[in-house]
Structure 1
Amino acid sequence: MLIGTLSKIETGNGQNRIVRTIDRDSVVKNAPKAPVGMESQKEGADVKVDDVVSSDTYIVYRCKKMGCGGMADRLRGMINVYLLSLLTGRKFGIIHSTPCKLTEYLQPNTLDWTIDEKSLEGKSSENHNFLEKKKLPSNDMATYFKKEVVYIVSNADMTNYIRRDKGVPKILPWLNQLTTADIYKFVLDRLFKPSDMMKQEIDKFQAEVGNRKLICAHYRMGKNPSMPYDLVEIQVAKKIY
């Protein structure tokens, strides 16, 4: 169930948007506590966000073909595009169909980011490739985008440059009160929850682990079919060690 308070805002240019206001506690009150020594550096930050849930303009993270990066890269891009949606007052959406539909594994949590691409047909649009770009093209992103629908593909962490946007002090003051890690955790908790299929797999795995200590390692094998130009880093590691 989506949470928060809905309100209608007139933008003054003939357009209206409806926002959902949610405070930080509503999202993270049931989240597990961080390990000792890894607590948030800004635990007392006052985080209140107006999600744009209805608008005449959109900003959409879109990945429909190869070359969007690995899954972590894609999630990083989604987080940064979401922050841009807050800055620009645009409705946020995700279109991800390559190499699979994202909704098979992750479902919306407090914000419904699913969007029917056909519903955007007929609207003016522009495409932006922010892959490997950590610097934004403007420090006033609210006026940078001109079309009704903005499609972005990104794999870069742009939070430091988003913090410098002229709209942040008024729209997202908490962005400068949180560490980058806290921003990522807050947004990930806000946007995603495991799908039923994914949750079953997680529960099954946790049952197998039981009360034993769990240590995880990420092996990047390379040459994934969906990333044909990826490096074979595990072979490099074998040569070194």
Structure 2
Amino acid sequence: MIAILIIYTLHLLPKPGAKQRTEEPPYQSDLPDVMKDSRGNVFIDYHDVRFSYDNIAKFISEYEDDFRTFTNYQNSSKYLIYNCDKRCGGLGDRLKGIVSVYILSQLSKRKFGIRMSDPKDLQMFLQPNVIDWRITADEIKGKEHLYIDFKELHQQFAIEMENDDIDPANSIARVKPVDIIFVKANQNWFSTYRKLSVSPDRFPIIYKLPTSDITRIIYHGLFKPSDELQNLVDDFFAKKVKDKHLVCLHARMGEKGFERYSFDDIKLALYFLKHYDRLGGHVIMLATDNKQVKDYAKKTYTSLVDTEFSDDFSHVDHLGSGSVDDRTKEHGFMHAVLDHTILSRCSTLVLTNSGFGVTASAIRHTSDNLFTFPSRSKSVIRTRREVVREIFQWRCFSHLETGYVCDG
């Protein structure tokens, strides 16, 4: 019997004298080659693009070009606006919602906008890129509008859209089609969109690429770093990383009462990083919401580096409280966006259970040296961008009448 082995050939460093691979767009190079070993056994070999910080700009330019192939409805008189005024979830949840609402704007043929004021204006950190998603008050003044909270009603949205095969250009989950629709959302609705009869014509790419690749294209089409954020990222790599390999762990422990990992659990992932600490030529960065983990890292790793925002991490959704001053809100939001941006640019990335890390891996340009640490696995697992979301999918329910299972 021919043994079929799935082998992920992801190397930490190129071997001396090894010929470097020609860089290709990740969604091309991620396609596996069927090969045979010396014994004639068939195996599947993934030729991942080697991570290169220097080539990030080239890849982003390609994603921007891909985004430009989408139909542009920005001159439409009807609007679909991602809305976040309070309690929208963490940064990862917000980005999932933005991507979902953008695709819905394509399906509904509406102009896409973003209005995020909580805890601070999103434009302070991420600015419009290929399209201008900013919406002014004068632009929509006097037009009929409504607000929909699909953060709370995401199951209902998906079930109704799928059951009735609703054309979003005529109705969005049985909501009358007024000129301005504000939507709060924090879910990934790719599965629902792929089941609608209008999708092949209006957004065909959703059938051609995995969710992670489409997320990456939309993210880079919508956003570019603010000057301040870009300067912080450049400064971090120039002064802290230099010519070394950046190894990152996102250790999302969870708030009291909602713990995702205990300190004993996370120790295995922390031990995993010791290998890189001893190798030389590597620096280690931790993004975490837990002081005990941070203190442990400071005592354990000789090659630990951090950004200027090395204080305790504050969850973005908790910064919207009226008791938090503006400076703390701005500092906390920048801390989150900076960590997220750097995680997407780490040579080696280890993820725990968090939408923050899932989206960081999605916008990364390769699966090279990507690992996950699921809370129940008790091991650090080499993985691929395309499956990270499913590994950490959270709280999915089956609907008795429809068999519907949420995207998460």
Task: Give the C-alpha shift of residue 155 in structure 1.
Answer: 0.6
Task: State the SS of the aligned residue for 1:205.
Answer: helix
Could you tell me how far apart the structure 2 residues matched to 1:73 and 1:32 are?
A: 30
**Residues 130-149 of structure 1: pairs in structure 2 closer than 5 A:** 130-131=150-151, 133=154, 135=158, 137-138=160-161, 139=165, 140-145=167-172, 146-149=177-180
- Out of 118, 127, 138, the residue aligned to residue 107 of structure 1 is 127
1:74-99 Cα distance to aligned partner (Å, 9 max, x none): 01100110001111110000000101
In the TM superposition, 1:208-223 aligns within 5 A as 208-220=240-252, 222-223=254-255
Supply the distance in 1 between the matched residues of 2:213 and 2:95 (Cα, whole angstroms).
15
Within 1, Cα distance between the matches of 2:135 and 2:185? 18
Whether 1:54 and 2:86 are equivalent positions in the alignment is no
| Cα distance in structure 2, aligned partners of 1:72 and 1:230 | 21
Summarize the alignment of residues 1-241 of structure 1 with structure 2, pairs less than 5 Å apart. 33-34=25-26, 37=46, 48-65=69-86, 67-131=87-151, 133=154, 135=158, 137-138=160-161, 139=165, 140-145=167-172, 146-207=177-238, 208-220=240-252, 222-223=254-255, 231-233=258-260, 236-238=261-263, 240=265
Structure 1 residues 210, 75: CA separation in 2 closer, same or farther (over 3 Å shift)?
same
TM-aligned CA deviation for residue 213 of structure 1: 1.2
Contact 2:253–2:262 (CA<8 Å) still a contact in 1? no
Alpha carbons of 1:32 and 1:78: their partners in 2 closer, same or farther (altered >3 Å)? farther
Q: Provide TM-score, normalisation by structure 2.
A: 0.45
Question: 2: CA distance between counterparts of 1:100 and 1:221?
Answer: 25
State the alpha-carbon separation in 1 of the partners of residues 47 and 200 from structure 2: 27
Tell me the distance in 2 between the aligned counterparts of 1:61 and 1:200. 27
Cα deviation, residue 137, structure 1: 3.0
- Code of the aligned partner of 2:160: P
Identical aligned residues as a percent: 32
Distance 1:189 1:114 in 2: 16
Alpha-carbon distance between aligned partners in 2 of 1:125 and 1:230, rounded to the nearest angstrom: 38
Distance 2:251 2:92 in 1: 13
Deviations 1:109-168 (A, max 9, x none): 101001113432321112222216262632322211411111101110001111222211
Q: Is the 8 A contact 1:95 1:117 kept in 2?
A: no
Give the 3 Å change call, closer, same or farther, for CA 165–117 of structure 1 in structure 2. farther
* 1:136–1:162 CA contact under 8 A, matched in 2: no
Separation in 1, partners of 2:109, 2:76: 8
Point out where structure 2 has 5 or more consecutive residues left out of the alignment.
1-22, 31-45, 50-65, 268-408
Looking at structure 1, the residues matched to 257 and 113 of structure 2 have their Cα atoms a distance apart, in angstroms, of 27
SS in 1 for 2:249: coil
Letter in 2 for 1:190: G
Cα separation, 2, equivalents of 1:33 and 1:84: 26
Equivalent pairs, count: 198
Please tell me the residue identity of whatever aligns with 1:182.
D
Superposed CA RMSD in Å reads: 2.6
Q: How far apart are residue 220 of structure 1 and its match? A: 2.7
Give the equivalent residue in structure 1 for 2:336. none
What is the SS of the residue equivalent to 1:201? helix
More helix by share: 2
- Name the aligned partner's letter for residue 68 of structure 1: C
Structure 1 stretches of 5 or more lacking a match? 1-30, 41-45, 224-228
1:170 to partner: Cα distance: 1.3
Assess, with a 3 A threshold, how the Cα gap between structure 1 residues 91 and 214 changes in structure 2: closer, same or farther: same
Contact 1:136 1:158 in 2 (8 A): no
Instruction: Answer yes or no: is the 8 Å Cα contact 1:58–1:149 preserved in 2.
Output: yes
Q: TM-score, normalised by structure 1?
A: 0.74
Amino acid at match of 1:76: K
Note if contact 2:80-2:110 (Cα within 8 Å) is conserved in structure 1: yes
Structure with greater strand percent: 1
Say if 1:141 and 1:165, in contact at 8 Å, map to a contact too: no
What is the alpha-carbon distance in structure 2 between the residues aligned to residue 162 and residue 214 of structure 1? 37
**Aligned-partner SS, 1:128:** strand
